[in-house]
Homo-oligomer: A and B are copies of this chain.
Amino acid sequence: MRKGDQTVVFDAPPVIISAAAVAGKMEGEGPLANDFDMIVSDDKMGEESWDMAEAKLQETAVELALKKAGADPEDINYLFAGDLQNQCAAAHYGLRDTGIPFFGLYGACSTMTESLSLGAMVTGAGFSAKTLCATSSHFCTAEKQFRTPLNYGGQRTPSSQWTVTASGAALLAPRGNGPRITSVTTGRIIDRGVTDANNMGAAMAPAAIDTIAAHFRDTGLRPEYYDLILTGDLGIVGSAILCELIMEEGFDISAVHNDCGKMIFNIDEQDVHAGGSGCGCCASVLCGSIYNGLCGGKYKRVLVTATGALMNTVALGQGESIPAIAHAVAIEI
């Protein structure tokens, strides 16, 4: 690794040997429904609170990823996970019974690629024989924690996004069949002064630009190397900013760019305004549709860049702006 370089290119790329995606009812009515391993009929999942429902969602995704690989929790050396709940409660309560050595992450909606980045590094280095990476989000936990009580019924602005109720989990190994993580580009915290909590796409787009441009500079690759340059949850507003402003860095990604927040819903019909968001948005799209597309030959090379907004409600209430981050993971087969 060179000074100033943000990218690790693996000599022995770790393999994603299985992936699982669990989605909520509304996500299960969207265009990616066929790629989810499970669509829940009740977003409360039989739990007494939304918070514990999200924990159950994450637990279920991890169980399914293990099952699909024929692996047991005792086979797993590390579990990297986190979520948007205060103190990452969904991961802690959902995964506490696994007994797997656990690293808790907070990367907001960038958590899926943060966990894959660290999971790929410990697996690629030979420190782990099997590594799980997971995250989740839930519309109801996010809404009540970050915005307003669920039954308040406030108007949503056109730039606002709909937090996805879903979870995704991926299982990495040094060898095996499946798509390989060939490189990871780690993001820096970028804050361009956006203070509008109802326009996360605009707050996070500069972080995506910074990381994707760093990826191309560090690797010497060009956008056309990839079949798909996928962002996590920039939505319609943030995606437009990304595609326009990254041109100034000398990279035109518009022909191959898409965004999980735009893909997961029928935006015109499902009343989600600027698209989906939340850790579970990138997690469930990547571990469902994209993973299946890689395994099935639809994609050969995908650069996944999940973005996260790193504020909390206290800081925003005190007039602070929104720092953001994006982590990129290149997946090839």
Contact = CB atoms under 8 A, between A and B. Distances in A.
A312 B189 contact: no
Interface residues of A, number: 63
Interface centre among A78, A93, A124 (most CB of B within 10 A): A93
B310 A104 contact: yes
A311 B118 CA distance: 24
A8 B92 contact: no
A127 B10 CA distance: 9
B51 A318 contact: yes
A314 B5 contact: no
A251 interface: no
A251 B151 CA distance: 54
Contact of A105 (B105, B117, B121, B126): B105
A77 interface: yes
A296 interface: no
Interface of A: 1, 3-6, 8, 48-49, 51-52, 74-75, 77-78, 82, 84-89, 92-93, 95-96, 98-108, 114, 117-118, 121-122, 124-129, 186-191, 310-315, 318, 320, 323, 325
Q: Give 3 nearest A-B pairs by CB, closest first.
A: A125-B125, A101-B186, A87-B312
